[in-house]
């Protein structure tokens, strides 16, 4: 029996003074406008700094801060723009329906605009009444205005020009489920410094860390009798390394070791090929199976897995995984299908697993948490 995943991805006036041609050129001079106040002149002459993050048009599927013309803001995910209205789901899950003609635009994370000095995160983003945004640190503030400091220097802003000051709290790193499907790893490795705790089908627990961007180290065990060949090993470890062959292809290889009761130990090699993008990709994996695998099917120590993950909605993915392995002279297949629900820095997998040889269906529950410092 072959499991097939069909993956689709949809991502993605200046008014010049008029001159009467019948008059001599000398008579065509236009009186100069009144001199602007000194403060206004200085502000106009100040060059735009890289920290003035532009507002983008609001479009479906974007995340950021929706800025309204009256200075109010809504931070969240843009669900849809249609019928002259925009629907935004805020961080608490509440949906706001806004009139499109009241929206100035969308403010993305200032980090995307290269707006801050190296090593400094912006403390505020100041939304001005003209729709522009200044990001940086407020170093001075009084009844007449405030001074914002950023990579381009200091800029004084009049209180009458400020619509709203948005505190930029530290955003948690988005959880990246791509390093694995349900139990089988993918060709995506953890980035340098990332740390994840996971439990495949609850009993197979592990901790993984990115050592550089091309090496992931993992240690784990199986509850209650601890890792690798099902319920026979006390501890398992692996070192996987990989690289990207363009934007669509990732390959990885690994060395795995398992230590069990008495003198039983084993070592394995693995190979992984992943094709696609983080939101929609297919993987073929060959190597050791996961702890507790033969609780679900007649799987041996090693096998081949064909897997797929596709994001079907914001924060929700469909994940499929098919294992093929031999144990006690018989070949069995374990077919699993689950939904993945992202919860902040964690994710919950819930689905079913079917053993072809045993002809039985069992529940599949998986957990993962990003504990990157």
Domains present along the chain, CATH in parentheses: 49-167 (2.30.30.100), 195-370 (2.40.160.40)
Confidence of residue 221 (pLDDT cuts 50, 70, 90): confident
Pair 18, 98: CB distance under 8 Å? no
Total Cβ atoms within 10 A of residue 199: 17
Q: What is the pLDDT of residues 9-60, one digit of tens each?
A: 333 333 433 334 333 333 433 344 443 333 333 333 333 333 344 456 777 7
Looking at per-residue confidence, does 138 or 304 come out higher?
A: 304
Instruction: Report pLDDT for 27.
Output: 40
Half-sphere exposure of 340 (CA within 13 A, CB side): 33
- The CA angle 298-368-285, to the nearest 5 degrees, is 45
Least confident of 23-37, 117-131, 303-317, 339-353: 23-37
pLDDT above 70 as % of the chain: 72
Helices (H), 70-134: none
Given a cut of 90, is residue 275 above it in pLDDT? Answer: yes
Pair 137, 148: CB distance under 8 Å? yes
Instruction: Tell me the three state secondary structure of residue 165.
Output: strand
Instruction: Report pLDDT for 224.
Output: 52
- The CA angle 162-36-135, to the nearest 5 degrees, is 25
pLDDT above 90 as % of the chain: 27
Instruction: Report pLDDT for 301.
Output: 85
Q: State mean pLDDT over 84-103.
A: 83
Instruction: Tell me the three state secondary structure of residue 67.
Output: strand
Instruction: Report pLDDT for 34.
Output: 41
| DSSP-assigned beta bridge partners for residue 281 | 276, 309
Total Cβ atoms within 10 A of residue 306: 20
Q: State mean pLDDT over 300-307.
A: 92
What CA–CA distance (Å, rounded) separates 229 from 259?
A: 10
Instruction: Report pLDDT for 134.
Output: 85
Instruction: Report pLDDT for 56.
Output: 63
Based on the number of CB atoms within 10 Å of its own CB, is 21 exposed (0-12), middle (13-18) or buried (19 or more)? exposed
Least confident of 148-162, 188-202, 215-229: 215-229
Confidence of residue 4 (pLDDT cuts 50, 70, 90): very low
Looking at per-residue confidence, does 289 or 308 come out higher?
A: 308
Total Cβ atoms within 10 A of residue 341: 13
Instruction: Report pLDDT for 223.
Output: 61
> pLDDT averaged over the chain?
74
Give the H or E element holding residue 42: helix 38-45
Confidence of residue 363 (pLDDT cuts 50, 70, 90): very high
Given a cut of 70, is residue 237 above it in pLDDT? Answer: yes
Given a cut of 70, is residue 67 above it in pLDDT? Answer: yes
**CA nearest 349: which of 247, 199, 170, 224?**
199
Given a cut of 90, is residue 62 above it in pLDDT? Answer: no
Residue corresponding to tokens 């064909």: 306
Q: Tokens standing for 227? A: 């890792």
What CA–CA distance (Å, rounded) separates 273 from 242?
A: 10
* pTM score of the predicted model: 0.56
Q: Tokens standing for 286? A: 């060959």
Pair 286, 257: CB distance under 8 Å? no
Q: Is the peptide bond before 86 cis (omega within 30 degrees of 0)?
A: no
Q: What is the pLDDT of residues 174-218, one digit of tens each?
A: 445 468 899 999 999 998 888 999 988 777 888 999 998 899 999
Instruction: Tell me the three state secondary structure of residue 141.
Output: strand
Q: State mean pLDDT over 286-291.
A: 88
Pair 322, 344: CB distance under 8 Å? no
Q: Tokens standing for 67? A: 């800025």
């Amino acid at each position: 029996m072959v499991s097939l995943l069909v993956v689709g991805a949809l991502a993605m006036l200046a008014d010049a003074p008029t001159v009467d041609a019948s008059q001599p050129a000398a008579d065509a001079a236009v009186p100069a406008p009144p001199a602007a106040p000194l403060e206004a002149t200085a502000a106009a002459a100040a060059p735009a700094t890289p920290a003035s993050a532009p507002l983008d048009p609001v479009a479906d599927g974007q995340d950021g801060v929706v800025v309204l013309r009256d200075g109010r803001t809504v931070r969240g995910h843009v669900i849809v723009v249609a019928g002259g209205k925009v629907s935004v789901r805020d961080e608490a899950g509440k949906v706001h329906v806004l009139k499109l003609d009241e929206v100035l635009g969308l403010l993305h994370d200032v980090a995307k605009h290269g707006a801050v000095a190296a090593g400094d995160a912006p403390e505020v983003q100041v939304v001005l009444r003209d729709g522009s945004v200044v990001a940086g640190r407020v170093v001075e503030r009084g009844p007449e205005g405030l001074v914002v400091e950023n990579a381009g220097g200091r800029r004084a802003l009049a209180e009458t020009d400020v619509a709203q000051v948005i505190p930029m709290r530290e955003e948690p790193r988005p959880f990246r489920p791509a390093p694995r499907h349900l139990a089988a790893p993918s060709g995506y490795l953890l980035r340098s410094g990332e740390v994840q705790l996971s439990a495949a089908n609850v009993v197979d627990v592990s901790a993984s860390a990115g050592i550089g961007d091309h090496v992931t180290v993992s240690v784990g065990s199986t509850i209650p009798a601890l890792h690798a060949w099902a319920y026979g090993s006390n501890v398992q470890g692996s070192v996987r390394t990989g690289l990207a062959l363009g934007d669509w292809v990732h390959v990885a290889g690994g060395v795995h070791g398992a230590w069990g009761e008495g003198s039983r130990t084993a070592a394995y090699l693995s190979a992984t090929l992943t094709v696609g993008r983080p939101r929609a990709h297919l993987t073929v994996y060959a190597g050791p199976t996961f702890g507790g695998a033969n609780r679900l099917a007649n799987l041996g120590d090693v096998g081949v897995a064909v897997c797929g993950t596709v994001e079907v909605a914001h924060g929700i993915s469909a994940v499929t995984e098919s294992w093929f392995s031999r144990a006690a002279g018989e070949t069995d297949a374990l077919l699993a299908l689950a939904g993945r629900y992202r919860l902040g820095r964690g994710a919950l997998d819930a689905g079913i697993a079917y053993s072809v040889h045993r002809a039985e269906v069992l529940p599949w529950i998986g957990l993962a948490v990003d504990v990157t410092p």
